[in-house]
Every structure is written in structure tokens, then in C-alpha cells.
Amino acid sequence: MGKKLYIISGEASGDLHGANVMKELFALEPDLDICFWGGDKMQAVGGTMVRHIRDLAFMGFVEVLKNLPTILRNIRFCKEDILEFKPDALLLIDYPGFNMRIAEWAKKNHIKVYYYISPTVWAWKENRVHKIKRDVFKLFCIFPFEVDFYRKHHYEIEYVGHPLLDEIKQYQQQSDQQLKLQPGDSGKPVIAMLPGSRKQELRTKLPVMLPLVDLFPQYHFVIAGAPNMELSVYQELIGDKPVEIVYGQTYPLLQQAEAAVVTSGTATLETALFEVPQVVCYIGNAISYQIAKRLVKVKYISIVNLILDKPSVVELIQHDCTTEKLAAELSAVIQGGEKRKQILDDYADLKNMLGKGGASKKVAQSLLKTI
């Protein structure tokens, strides 16, 4: 009888990381029986899907409150399903609001819990460290600074490196993918716009970003379309501006871009790993932002600055995120001057700090060794 593993990821990034870990797990132990909550990428690898991420992703305090009955129903169902499946262990991937509750319940039910991608306890709700120590058998983290943070709390974790390193390396090794643009636009240098993957993000950020098109007519602006977002949502916001939207081409876009305007989140790190100077933007729901401001203890919102522990890339947050400021900062990074050089030097340091990669394989090996 093979081992049984139950995996829970609740967002697009978790689906990607989950799929990569599953590939490594099946390579090491082909008869592993996996049940999971995830998306299309995990489904393509194998195992049995229980819930799809499209029914799970809620972001921000207000959005979570509005969807609370659904979330609580999902938690109830998840517990019942785990008990029925009787796994040897749980692997929880990111998605802390949900997964931390499942971890606490699983510990009480004597189910071994592995956690991949630490909840951001170093940013806020530091007291959650004690819950992690109590409920999680093994924590795999992806940022180098997390090791010292947890050590301060007398908890040894395993640093596996950032999974994006492997994603990008794999892409670059087989990279015959050229950015496919509409005819006539390929002559101008490209500026990438990564406005996020949720409707509320697009509606707040694109109206600030789009006037840049008129201010920098010598560039071709290209939006990285989120796979879950219909074209009509972008078109309605863009109107008649000469902006192109590409789907499934974020890496080819970053490979070709001279600069980028990026929403805070994982995209800031992807942009840095492709060595594209960037300006980071964040505009949140006003209430969610006010709550977060009082609770969050980090100095920066972009992953790049957090890892480097300095303001390497400019962050324009909330009321500071205006078209005027965005234009000024974008000018500074595309003119080939001091700011551009400083960012590119910092990116080199960032890569050294992140190490060699191999995160998914390390997680799979460590999990199978101790399951």
C-alpha cells in the first residue's frame, strides 16, 4: 500500500508550486496516493482533485468578510474530506488564512503537517509563530531572512530557496519563445505592465498606469493579462489607448521589456529575476489598507526590497501612487542613468542571496524522508 498525502493550495501561485512538488514526489515515489485542492497545473500532474482554486481565492479584509460563510463551509468540508481520506500527512501550501486553521485541527487529530511557503508571520501577527511551532511538523521557507526570524523564536525551519528560480531557469533553458506582438508594434522598445490578477486590482491600478502611454509615446506598452481575467475587463479600462494585452506570455514579455510597472507581490521578484528595472505600485481597498497599515510591521511591500532589506526599487503606495509620480520614477529607470544601474546591481545581489534553487525537489525529498 503506497503512502497517502493530502495537499491544500488555494491560489494560482500555490497551484504552480504544488504542481512542481507533485512532479518531484511522483518521480521519487510513483505509487503515492495524492488528494488535493488546487488548480489546472496540479490537475495536469495527476492525483485526485477535491476543490478548484477558482472557488477559493478571496483577498483583503473586506473581501474575506463578505465571503465568510463560503470560507467556513469550505473549512468544514475540508476537515471531513481529510478524515475520510486518512492521509499519512498533510502538505499545506501558502494560503495561510485557511491552512493555519486546518493545521491546528490536524495536529489535534494526530495528522502530521508539512507547510511549504511560510505564512508572513514576520510581517504581521507575529504571535502566529507559536501556532506554527505547535501545529507544524516541518516548515519549508522560501526567503533567506525567514531562517533567522524563526530561529529567534527557537524553531528550526528548512530553507529550500525560492521556487521561482527553477521556473525562470527552466523557461530560459528552453526559451525559443519570442514575445508575439501585433504587427506594426514590434519596432518600439517595450514597457511591461503587470497590474495584478484580480478585478479590484485592475480597476484601481490601470486608470493610474494607462496615462503613461501618452507620456511615453516612444515605447510600446504591453499588459501581462491574468489567465483568469477576460479580455473585455481590460478593453473596457483601456478604451482606445494603443496598449496591447498578452496572455500566457509574462516571461517572454519580461525577457524583452526595458522597464516595468508592477503591482506588489510575486511579480516584483519575477521582474527582478529577469533583470528588468521596475516601479512598484500598490493601491488597496481603503478600509483594508487602513487596517493593514496598523497591523503590518514590514518596512517594504515589494519582495525585492524585503529580501535586500533596503529601498532598491521605488514603491508607490496608496495616495502616492499617482500617474505623475509613476511617470517620474519610470523616467528615472529607463533613461539608463544612475537609478537604472543601481537597481541592476541590486538584482545581482538578490540572485546571490536566493541561492541555486531546486526548491520543489528539496521539499519532496524531505517530506518523503520523514513522512
pLDDT in tens, 116-136: 999 877 666 677 899 999 999
| Average confidence (pLDDT) over 332-338 | 86
Which residues, at least 6 apart from 165, have a Cβ–Cβ distance to it below 8 Å?
273, 354, 355, 356, 357, 359
pLDDT band at 8 (very low <50, low <70, confident <90, very high): very high
CATH number of 4-161+356-370: 3.40.50.2000
Q: Is the pLDDT of residue 164 over 80?
A: yes
Does position 58 have pLDDT exceeding 80, yes or no?
Answer: no
Instruction: List pLDDT tens digits, range 206-242.
Output: 999 999 999 999 999 999 998 878 899 999 999 999 9
The pLDDT value recorded for residue 59 is: 54
Gap between the Cα atoms of 90 and 27, Å rounded: 19
Helix (H) or strand (E) holding 347: helix 338-354
Please give the share of the chain, as a percent, with pLDDT higher than 90.
66
d(CA 35, CA 144): 30
Q: What are phi and psi of 134, to 5 degrees?
A: -75, -40
pTM of the model: 0.81
Say how far apart CA 364 and CA 349 lie, in whole Å: 28
Report d(CA 361, CA 371) in Å as an integer. 15
Residues counted in the chain: 371
pLDDT in tens, 234-282: 999 999 999 999 999 999 999 999 999 999 888 999 999 999 999 999 8
Q: Which positions ≥6 away from 11 have C-beta within 8 Å?
A: 53, 56, 57, 94, 95
Strand (E) or helix (H) holding 52:
strand 48-52
Q: What share of the chain is helix, strand, coil (3-state, %, to 5)?
A: 50, 20, 30
Residues 6+ away with beta carbon under 8 Å from 241: 210, 213, 214
Task: Tell me the CATH class for 190-354.
Answer: alpha beta
**What residues does each domain of the chain span?**
4-161+356-370, 190-354
Characterise 115 by phi-psi region: left (phi > 0), alpha (psi -120 to 50), beta (else).
Answer: beta
In the structure, what pLDDT confidence band is assigned to residue 170 with cuts at 50, 70 and 90?
confident
Q: Can you give the pLDDT at residue 265?
A: 82
Domains 4-161+356-370 and 190-354 share a fold: yes
| Position with higher pLDDT, 10 vs 330 | 330
d(CA 47, CA 36): 7
Average pLDDT over residues 94-104: 92
